[in-house]
Amino acid sequence: MSELSKFICNCKCVSKSEILSSIRKKGANSFSDVRTITLATTGCGRCKSDVENIVNQEMKKHSVRMMQFKIDFGND
Ligand code: FES
């Protein structure tokens, strides 16, 4: 089983891949959005810090990509 397919949230059977997909493909912009889209953390809540860490890391990468896009294509 790959790292991406391993469940981060066992209660709702949500993998890292699904969390990343909610940000990259489904427009999630926050932990709250990811929670709404995937239902991760809505059971016992034990996975909350792991989900938050994944979201924070991905949002940092996303903002670096957006800054690079603005540099490459301008802000107009
Ligand atoms: S493991 Fe995610 S809510 Fe329980």
**According to the model, what pLDDT value does residue 76 have?**
56
**According to the model, what pLDDT value does residue 62 have?**
78
In a domain, 2, yes or no: no
**According to the model, what pLDDT value does residue 31 have?**
96
Q: Which two tokens stand for residue 63?
A: 């903002």
Instruction: Give the Cα separation of 18 and 64 in Å (integer).
Output: 21
- The residue type found at 44 is C
The parent domain of residue 31 ranges over 7-73
Phi, psi for 13 (deg, rounded to 5): 55, 55
What is the full per-residue pLDDT of the chain (76 aa) written as tens digits? 788 999 999 999 999 999 999 999 999 999 999 999 999 999 999 999 999 999 999 999 877 777 777 788 875 5
Q: Give residue 8 CA to ligand 1 midpoint distance, Å.
A: 8
Within 6 A (CB) of ligand 1 lie 9-12, 40-47
pTM: 0.85
In a domain, 1, yes or no: no
**What CATH number corresponds to the domain at position 32?**
1.10.10.1100
